[in-house]
Structure formats: C-alpha cells, structure tokens
Amino acid sequence: MQNFLNLAAANYFTMQLDITRLVLTLAVAFLIGLFVFFIYKITFGGVMYSRSLNISYIMLTLVTSLMLMLISNNLTLSLGMVGALSIIRFRTAVKDPIDTVFMFWAVGEGIAIGVAFFLEAAIAALLIGIALVVLNMVKVNESSNYLLIVHYTEDASNAIKVLQKQLPKCSIKSKTVNKNAIELTLEVRLRQSELNFTEKLVKIDGILDAMLVSHKGDIVA
C-alpha cells in the first residue's frame, strides 16, 4: 500500500511538472506569436489586410510548439506524428509571397519554443522582426505591376493604340465592347513617379475614365 501511494505521489508530481512546462511553453509561444502578429501588421504592404490570416500566425506558433513539446521525448509518438502529418494537404492559395515567409517564421518559432529554446526563439524573433521592419522602411523606386482599366468611346481608339505603344511592358488582359463604350484592361509596369499619367489620360477626348489597380500574381499551393 505504501509503495502504491509513493508511486501515485510521484506520478502526481511529474504531472504537475508537465502542466507547468505546458503552460510556460504556450505562454512564451503566445507572446512570440503576438510579436509576429505585430510585425506583420506594421509591415503589411498588400492590397487587403486580413486579420484572420494574421491571427493564424499566432495559432501556428502555439500549435507547433505544442506538437514539438509532445513528441520531443517520445520517439514512437514522433514517428506516428510524422506519418499522420504526411497525409495532410493544404490547398489554400497564398496571395502574397511574404505571407509564406511569415508562416515559416511562425512555424520555426514554434519549433524552437517546443524544444525549450526560449531565449534563442526570442532573440531570433527580435532579429527577424527588426530585419523585416528595416526592409519595409527602405523604399526603392522600382517598377511594379498595375492593371490599367480604361473606358472610352470609338473616337479615342487611335489615342489608345498610341498609349499601348508608349506604356512599358503593356499587355492586354481583357477587352469588353458594348454600344456605348469600350472597356480595356491592360497590364502595365510602372514606377511610383509615373502613376500620375492617368490624370492626363482622362483629358483626351473620348476617354471616359481611367483606373489603376495594384496587381500581384497569386501563388497556388
């Protein structure tokens, strides 16, 4: 009976240590996940900010750290986990390549935290965050892809042809013709200093309106 009580007490003490480690690990993962969340928000440069995507980086850090903590001391469980994860396929399209970078960052932080490299994870998060902020602050006047959408009448057809020859790397994406006007969508590559040409474009007779939309290609996973 005494041996049974001693064994039960030892198991209870071990359980308490495991719970303490679990809480500490998830707390650190949450704090570093919040840091990733903050860096993504202040450096976001896309068209539409997604809060749900940003929150998923926190959850990735938490879940990854939990998985690594569970399998770090159990070879059998780790092999089973690898086999289970190998059948999972993610089909969500990533709109911006930088989103993939943040996903790998969150997973990497979760791995470091899960194996109790708390200090290393914090230092790495700080350095990577600073690098992302600095790179975001450096503005280079390089050209970017835009969609130019123009509505015009038949009277402006010649002007549109001249415009297509003048615009660098211009290609037609779509053209819609109706009785009243023509809608032409062009993919163009422009520098930041060249974006004001649309104001001059609408002054041409026959051009009803012109709109520039930032265009980024999708990455299909």
What phi and psi values does residue 181 have, to the nearest 5 degrees?
-160, 175
Q: Report pLDDT digits (tens) over 174-189.
A: 888 887 788 888 888 7
| Dihedral class, residue 104 (left if φ above 0, else alpha if ψ from -120 to 50, else beta) | alpha
Instruction: Label residue 169 left, alpha or beta by phi (over 0 means left) and psi (-120 to 50 means alpha).
Output: left
Q: How far is CA 157 from CA 51, 81, 161, 164, in A?
A: 43, 63, 6, 11
What is the average pLDDT value for the chain, to the nearest integer?
77
| Whole-number pLDDT of residue 221 | 37
CA 119, 123, 128: angle at the middle one, nearest 5?
Answer: 145
What tokens appear for 149 in the block? 């959408």
The percent of residues in the chain predicted with pLDDT above 90, rounded, is 21
Do residues 115 and 35 lie in contact, with contact meaning Cβ atoms separated by under 8 Å?
no
Please give the Cα distance from 3 to 47 (Å, whole number): 66
Number of Cβ atoms within 10 Å of the Cβ of 70? 14
CATH class of the 144-214 domain in this structure: alpha beta
The closest alpha carbon to 63, from 81, 48, 42, belongs to 81
The pTM is what? 0.61
pLDDT digits (tens, 9 = 90+) for 58-95: 999 998 898 888 777 665 555 556 555 555 555 566 66
The pLDDT of residue 54 is above 80: yes
Closest CA to 39 of 108, 138, 119, 128: 128
The full set of domain ranges for the chain reads 2-137, 144-214
Predicted pLDDT at 183: 87
Confidence category of residue 130, pLDDT binned at 50, 70, 90: very high
